[in-house]
Amino acid sequence: MRSIFVWTFFSFFSFSIVFQTACTPNAANDAKTGGAASDAAAKKRIGVTLLTREDDFYRELEAGLREAAAKNNFELLIQSGDKDLSKQQSQIDTFLVQKVDAIIVCPTDTKGIAPAIERANQANVPVFTADIAAGGGKIVSHVASDNAAGGRLAAEYIVKAIGAAGKVGIIGQPEVQSVVDRETGFKEAMAKYPQITVVPTISGGGVRDRALKAAEDLLQANSDLRAIFCINDETALGALSAAQTRGLKDLIIVGYDAAPEAIEKIKAGTNLKADVAQQPREIGAKTIEAIAAHFKGGSTTPIVNVPVKIIDAESAK
C-alpha cells in the first residue's frame, strides 16, 4: 500500500514539473502580448478634421501635426472637411463613435461648427481648434497665427506703398473667424490714416475663381482703387488675374499665407507685392503640444498665438 502511495505521489510531482515547465514559455509570451496590448491601449487617438488638403498651408499644418504626434506616441485619424460644413460635422460625429481621446478641428464655418463641438463636449471629449476659431462650444486651446497682427502688417505695407492716401479694398471671407480677425486688424491700422478710405469689403469665399469675380466687381465700382488686401493667397491670385486682365500695373495687392505660387508672383514683380507669412507647421506642432499638456493634467493656454511676418520681393530672395 505504501509503495503505491509513493509511486502516485512522485508521478503527480513529476507531471506537475513537466506541466509547469511546458507552460512557462507560453506564460512569458502571454506576458509580452499583454504588455503590447497594454501599450496599444495606452496610445492616445486624436481625431483631426482639416479645413482642406488642397492648400499648401494645410498640407504644412498636417505635417506639423504628424511630426509632433509621432514624438508623443499619438495616433492621428485625419480627415479633410473639404470646406463643407455638413461633411465636417459628420466627421466629428464619427470620431465620437470611434471614442477618440481628443479632437482637433480647423472649422469650415466658425459659427456652423458649434453644434458638433457641443456634442463632443457632452461626450467629454476635449476639443482643440487650429488656425480657425470656433464660434461656440467649449475649446480647451485654440492655436493660430496672430491674425489681427497679420492684418496690421498688411495695412502698414499698403500705407507705405500708396503714400498714406487713396482708396483701399478688401476681399474677405466672413464665415471664417481667422479671416475676420485679419480684416479687423487691417481696418484698425488703416483707421490711423484719415486720407485713406477703406471701401466696403467684398467676399471672395477664400477661393480663386470667386475672388477673381469679387475683384472685378470691386474694381468696377472703384476705378480709382489704389490697393487690395486679400485674406489668403488663393484670393490674392484671383485678384491678380483681374488686375492683369485690366492692365492695372499700379494696383497694389497684398496677400496672406505666403504660398509658393504667391511668392513666385511677388518675386516676378507683379501687382502682388507682398504677403503675410504664417508658420503652419508650428501651428500643427503647438496644437499637439497643447493636447499632450492636457493629457498630463498640466495647465493649458486658451489661446496660443503663433507669430507672422511680411514678405516682399526683397525678403523673398
Return the pLDDT at 273: 98
CA separation for the pair 99, 292 (Å, rounded): 18
- Residue type at 132 in one-letter notation: I
Regions of the chain where pLDDT drops below 70: 1-41
User: Looking at domain 44-144+280-306, which CATH architecture does it have?
Assistant: 3-Layer(aba) Sandwich (3.40)
Type of residue at 166: G
Q: In the prediction, which pLDDT does 56 show? A: 87
Nearest to 219 by CA among 194, 199, 205, 196: 199
Residue 298's pLDDT is: 81
Distance CA 131, CA 179 (A): 10
pLDDT at 3: 42
3-state secondary structure of 168: strand
Q: What is the pLDDT of residue 42?
A: 76
CA distance 130 to 57: 12
Looking at residue 29, its pLDDT comes to 44
Nearby residues of 290 by Cβ (< 8 Å), 6 or more positions away: 128, 140, 141, 143, 300, 301, 304
The predicted pLDDT at position 141 comes to 98
Q: Where in the chain is the domain with CATH 3.40.50.2300?
A: 44-144+280-306, 147-277
The one-letter amino acid code at 255 reads G
What superfamily in CATH does domain 147-277 come from?
Answer: Response regulator (3.40.50.2300)
The model's pTM is: 0.77
